[in-house]
Amino acid sequence: MLPSSMQPLPMLPQAHDPHALMARWRRLAKLAHMKVKVLVELEGEKIFYLESQSKSSAPFYLSAGVHGDEAAAPWGLLRWGEAQVQLLRENHFLIFPCLNPHGLRANTRLDHRGLDLNRRFHLQDDPLCGPWYRVLSSRVPPTLALCLHEDYDAAGSYVYEFESDRAPLGASCLQAAAVHLPVDLRSKIDGRRAKQGIILRSRIPQQLPGLPEAVVLRQLGCPRTLTFETPSECAFIHRVQAHAAFVHSAVERTLADSH
């Protein structure tokens, strides 16, 4: 396997092609002995997830592509995965490479119905979030959950992290990503108080218009749930590299803590 810095990059016309993305994941799944499963098929587009064959421990949950106009997130997750075949073989991973392929193709935040998926993860009758919820709720809660996003208004990378009884991961993962993109140092990000790029959530927020993926993962019992955001206006390659570095750091730290 080539080191991650030498992996071929997505050509820009491919960045919004979910089939090109999934072709790479399928190849990787074979190498990593993972199963590729269909979560659901919607409007002619299959939505896939990958799962390790050995499920002896709580999984690492990784997801990207909930918002289709945030293309560096799914490609960054793939870039990390292609450099981590052995790690993928040896541990339990549950990976959703692109939950909104229609949005990725159309370069829009919303899905094919014009809805923001990230306000619907609690809805068990939703044709996508329902099957997603059933996959998650029928397994041991993940030991770590990473939800990868981008933000057009960001001045750098930042992270939402839930407080828990485990040591926080956000700061060290942001530092790892800062090799590629600076941290957003504003004291208020997305209307919330932030410190050094970290928006700490002490409890599940009330009065949301609908529940995001990270909140539902937390409700399902995942002790470490982080949402990583890169600034959409920065160069694509740097955003891809920042996502890969963030995932690498979070997984490595969590593995180190469990040994």
| C-alpha dihedral sign at 148, 152, 40, 218 | positive
Q: Which of 16, 24, 102, 149 binds Zn ion (CB under 5 A)?
A: 149
Q: Which window, 13-21, 149-157, 185-193, 238-246, contacts Zn ion (CB under 5 A)?
A: 149-157
CA-based radius of gyration for the chain? 17
When asked if residue 253 is in the footprint of Zn ion (CB under 5 A), the reply is: no
* Minimum distance from residue 41 beta carbon to Zn ion (Å): 23
The number of residues that bind Zn ion (CB under 5 A) is: 3
Q: Which window, 64-72, 75-83, 215-223, 239-247, contacts Zn ion (CB under 5 A)?
A: 64-72
Q: Which window, 3-11, 132-140, 143-151, 173-181, contacts Zn ion (CB under 5 A)?
A: 143-151
Which residue's CB is nearer to Zn ion, number 70 or number 184?
70
* Minimum distance from residue 132 beta carbon to Zn ion (Å): 16
Q: Which window, 61-69, 175-183, 194-202, 231-239, contacts Zn ion (CB under 5 A)?
A: 61-69
For residues 116 and 83, the answer to whether their CB atoms sit within 8 Å is: no
Q: Which of 24, 67, 112, 248 binds Zn ion (CB under 5 A)?
A: 67
Which residue's CB is nearer to Zn ion, number 34 or number 62?
62
Q: What's the residue count for the chain?
A: 259
* Minimum distance from residue 5 beta carbon to Zn ion (Å): 26
When asked if residue 218 is in the footprint of Zn ion (CB under 5 A), the reply is: no
Contacts with Zn ion, residue ranges (CB under 5 A): 67, 70, 149
